[in-house]
Amino acid sequence: QIGSRNILEARGVTKRFGGLQALAGVDLDVREGEILGLVGPNGSGKTTLINVISGFYPLSGGTIMVDGAEIGRLPAHEIAHRGIARTYQIPRPFVNMTVLDNVSMAATFGGPPRTAAEIREEALHWIGFTGLAGKEEALPAELNLHERKFLELARALAAKPKLLLLDEVLSGLNPAEVDNAIRLVRAIRAQGATIVFVEHLMRAVVELSDRVAVLNEGKLFALGAPREVMRDPRVVSIYLGK
């Protein structure tokens, strides 16, 4: 399933907020088809890395290549058009659109031109698949936290991104919901997506990741197989140090 080709290549990526260096020269390769867990202590730059890859924030320096093309200076909508999708720590659905319309809109982006009826069918399929059946006509504000997170996953499934960036999509879920979300993330990968996910929940990081990348103070600190990386005394010490 995992290719030998890199879908994402970040080189010397820096991001400054005024005097604060949130990313201090990150080099990271992500292989096509892999699920890469992105971990690190609070403030180590994980969300900022997602934000610069998705174009939500402009880079301060460095390059980001996706599928061999430089995207580091493109606006967010151009990056989305290249098949790079993201979720937010706090879900950001279109608040005045129903669940069905939110997922239908993602499905419109994520496939060949189809009739409205076909898009609706597909959206209903992903709503059922993510356990949101019965909520089709609900507005996001009427959903609870776990339903909003699953709406993000339904939109990601419908949009069929080639690279999906997930920001703490599992936090705040109960153990059964976490299991369900893990199943959905695997389903997204099975559709051909490459996934980078930021997560604090170690069980999910170990179960889902092909490789884990550890950020510390805005730099790549460790990279490798999940169990080895999470047991590495250097990695343990940066967590304990905070």
User: Cβ(206)–Cβ(35) under 8 Å?
Assistant: no
Q: Of 17-25, 92-100, 135-143, 175-183, which part binds ligand ADP (CB under 6 A)?
A: 17-25
* Residue that has been written with the tokens 């982006």 in this structure: 109
Q: Looking at beta carbons only, is 122 or 168 nearer to ligand ADP?
A: 168
Q: What is the dihedral of CA 129, 101, 108, 35, to 10 degrees?
A: -40
Spell out, one character per residue from 23 to 62, where the chain touches ligand ADP: x when CB under 6 A holds, - when not. Answer: -----------------x-xxxxxxx--------------
141 counts as binding ligand ADP under rule CB under 6 A: no
Write down the least CB distance from residue 239 to ligand ADP, Å: 12
- Given 22, 52, 185, 201, the residue binding ligand ADP (CB under 6 A): 22
Q: Nearest approach, Cβ of 20 to ligand ADP (angstroms)? A: 6
Burial 97-115 (b: 16+ CB within 10 A, else e): ebbbbbbbbbbbebeeeee
Q: Alpha helices, DSSP H only, in 93-216?
A: 99-109, 116-129, 145-159, 175-190, 202-208
Give least dist CB 184 to ligand ADP, A.
22
Looking at 1, 5, 12, 17, which residue binds ligand ADP (CB under 6 A)? 17
Phi, psi of 105 (to 5 degrees): -65, -40
Min dist CB 45 to ligand ADP, Å, is: 4
Please, what is the minimum distance in Å from the beta carbon of residue 223 to ligand ADP? 16
**C-alpha separations of 106 from 86, 160, 219, 235 in Å:** 12, 9, 33, 38
Closer to ligand ADP by CB, 125 or 219: give it. Answer: 219
Distance CA 90, CA 79 (A): 21
Instruction: Name the residues that contact ligand ADP, by CB under 6 A.
Output: 17, 20, 22, 40, 42-48
